[in-house]
Structure 1
Amino acid sequence: IPFLTLDASAEYKKSVIDYLIAEYRAGRTPNPDVMCNRDVKFGAFYRYAKAQGADAIATGHYRSGEKDQSYFLWAVPKEILNETIFPVGNLEKDEVRALAKKFDLPVALKKDSQGVCFLGSISVEEFLKSEFGALPGNACDEQGRIVGEHEGAVLSTLGQRVALRNASGAGPWFVLAKDIEKNELVVGKSRNSSLNNSSRTIPFGNANWIGESSGTIEAQYRYRGPRVPGRVEGEVFVSDAPLPEIPSPGQSIVFYRGGSLVGGGIIGL
């Protein structure tokens, strides 16, 4: 079997690095892993393999309830998934590692990848600070009172914990809303607030459907977040009950039915 390599660095820079920077600059919080899967790990790989005459492609995705990767796979086109083989897809990671060790494969002791791979040991926040520079601004409570200073609204994610300098009260503080043009945050003592406690809808775009979108469906709009029952009406998800967490524009909303992935999209404003 010939061993071939493909340089996909140009696709990676465009779909992951440039995309991540542009989304944060626009005030959204992206899922770069989603675009990496769609355009590089599956997209570029599939196109190259087909050009070489391959019948299908194969990946090393394993089964995991704790680290379910389907949340990051929703954007892969159905036609590519139809020609993808998952040889270890019915095995847990520990079982895959045991087999790798049995056959003396060098990946047996390979560490798990963490975060955005091109950053290495640098955090996303550190990388963005190097791109955008220092952007301190006011953090206000829901009544408009200044309660501290943040390090940059573009660095924040709705619902995420945020560190404040010169805070007027004890934390923790969570981001409830942000104004990129004014470089201001609205913060509170919990992830939910009066700004969102009755919301039942999440607008989304860039949808990719692998299964049927009609009828009762479950939506997951944060990695490792709960799956919320509801329905899809056009490009809006309507929850059966008030949303448990604030949706963050730019993040993925992923749809399931009966435990199976049926599609997804990108949360809008």
Structure 2
Amino acid sequence: MKRVVVGLSGGVDSSVAAYLLQEQGYEVIGLFMKNWHDDSVTISNECPWLEDSNDALLVAEKLGIPFQTVDLSEEYQEKIVDYMFSEYEKGRTPNPDVLCNREIKFDVFMKIALSLGADYVATGHYCRKSEIEVNGETVYQLKSGTDTNKDQSYFLCQLSQEQLSKSLFPIGELTKPEVRKIATQMELITAEKKDSQGLCFIGKVRLPEFLQQKLQPKDGIIIQIDKNDAVYSSELQEGISLEEELKAAAKKIPYTPEMGKVVGKHQGAHYFTTGQRKGLNVGGTTDPLFIIATNVETNTIYTGLTSQHPGLFKKALRIEKEEVHWIREDLVLANGETMEVMARIRYRQPLQKATLHQFENEMYLYFDEPQSAITEGQFAAWYLGDELVGSGVIS
């Protein structure tokens, strides 16, 4: 019997994952990760870790599997929280869930599991794993979950072949209603439990308050830029190289306060992100204002009216060479090579047609259609069919 350690989170998905593995004849151990101590910044009674670990324990008891809690809050603080603070400070918007999978669940947690003699680590992610042979070597594939509405492959876009080789995703072939049905039949306490929101394993966090622990509020101005501003109609130079063309399509527009009018004040540009609509507290506009850019150096926020404002849209994004990550290492592009892919720049975004262009020091992802709110610090992930083959941090 192969031994599997399941990351029991106290939710329905990981509960059913544990049950299915048991049914398949694995020896199953349940481990709950405690990643957070500071309850002052979570919105109390929304998914506190205590309640979750208790539910995980009850599920383990019901299934008759060994259970324990591991405290990873130190590693979480260092690898996720500190990283988040430093990214927000630079005016970028990190994705803690992608990082939590790469750095915590499939690294620190996986090492603990393997030290307990586990052959695999399993989670309740809606995605699938398969394997193929390439030049006589086994290559692992990460595929989207069968339930397109719940597919979570994006959150695993930074995993390596090594991590995938030891991972199992037991519910990847199921839909959410099917998972709930199994949990109900098995009388698991988590059957009707709501899906958790907020930061991976911390629960619902008030982000501004969370960031204010480290990043001090400072007053700045909110500028509104007109959609007909000349900056949106600049022509490309003739005879420039493809790389120059892509660089122009991906680059940030250099906004200055003189380009627009002051419409309000804010408490710190580092608390805000491109594409954000809520939290600006600016009244009296005909349509909602959207953030089209932030500048943490000058502490200025630039906005535009409506979700169709030209300042929100770009056709390309840039990824620095060292930030390009291939799950399928056999598909890595060499300098000058291109690949047609389907890509997304955030979770739940429908896949978009795009082309990867690899150059000496960077890669560009060029979309067929302009994309709204391409955000620095987030991950772009690219797929061939239903297989996620690579990803990178948007720079």
TM-score greater than 0.5 by the shorter chain: yes
Structure 1 residue aligned with 2:349, among 225, 237, 240? 225
Q: Is the 8 A contact 1:230 1:237 kept in 2?
A: no
Deviation at 1:188, TM superposition (A): 0.1
Which amino acid in structure 2 is aligned with residue 82 of structure 1? S
Counterpart position of 1:207: 324
Over 3 Å counting, the alpha-carbon distance change for 1:121 and 1:26 in structure 2 is: same
The answer as to 2:224 corresponding to 1:141 is yes
Counterpart position of 1:15: 79
Is the deviation greater in 64-73 or in 224-233? 224-233
If each structure's strand is expressed as a fraction of its own residues, which one has the higher value? Answer: 2
Task: Look up the SS of the partner of 1:107 in the other structure.
Answer: coil
Counterpart position of 1:56: 120
Report sequence identity in percent: 38
Over 3 Å counting, the alpha-carbon distance change for 1:253 and 1:97 in structure 2 is: same
Deviation at 1:11, TM superposition (A): 1.7
Structure 2 residue aligned with 1:238, among 347, 350, 365? 365
- Alignment partners' CA distance in 2, 1:163 and 1:229: 32
Deviation at 1:192, TM superposition (A): 5.0
- Post-superposition Cα deviations, 1:16-42, rounded to whole Å, max 9, x if no partner, equal 221211111111111000111111111
Larger Rg: 1 or 2?
2
Over 3 Å counting, the alpha-carbon distance change for 1:65 and 1:125 in structure 2 is: farther
Over 3 Å counting, the alpha-carbon distance change for 1:165 and 1:113 in structure 2 is: closer
Stretches of structure 2 lacking an aligned partner (at least 5 in a row): 1-26, 28-65, 127-144, 226-258, 334-338
Q: Is the 8 A contact 1:252 1:264 kept in 2?
A: yes
- Alignment partners' CA distance in 1, 2:98 and 2:278: 24
Q: Is the 8 A contact 1:59 1:85 kept in 2?
A: yes
Structure 2 residue aligned with 1:127, among 188, 210, 213? 210
- Alignment partners' CA distance in 2, 1:114 and 1:19: 20
Structure 2 residue aligned with 1:188, among 304, 309, 312? 304
Is the deviation greater in 122-131 or in 39-48? 122-131
Over 3 Å counting, the alpha-carbon distance change for 1:240 and 1:131 in structure 2 is: closer
Q: Is the 8 A contact 1:201 1:237 kept in 2?
A: yes
- Alignment partners' CA distance in 2, 1:166 and 1:83: 50
Deviation at 1:260, TM superposition (A): 1.6
Task: Look up the SS of the partner of 1:72 in the other structure.
Answer: helix
Q: Is the 8 A contact 1:192 1:246 kept in 2?
A: no
- Alignment partners' CA distance in 1, 2:84 and 2:273: 13
Task: Look up the SS of the partner of 1:200 in the other structure.
Answer: strand
Q: Is the 8 A contact 1:148 1:168 kept in 2?
A: no
- Alignment partners' CA distance in 2, 1:266 and 1:113: 25
The answer as to 2:177 corresponding to 1:94 is yes
- Alignment partners' CA distance in 1, 2:80 and 2:266: 26
Deviation at 1:187, TM superposition (A): 0.5
Which amino acid in structure 1 is aligned with residue 381 of structure 2? V
Over 3 Å counting, the alpha-carbon distance change for 1:263 and 1:95 in structure 2 is: same
- Alignment partners' CA distance in 2, 1:53 and 1:123: 38
Counterpart position of 2:103: 39
Counterpart position of 2:155: 72
Counterpart position of 1:267: 394
Q: What is the TM-score normalised by the length of structure 2?
A: 0.62
Deviation at 1:116, TM superposition (A): 1.1
Q: CA RMSD in A?
A: 2.3
Which amino acid in structure 2 is aligned with residue 85 of structure 1? L
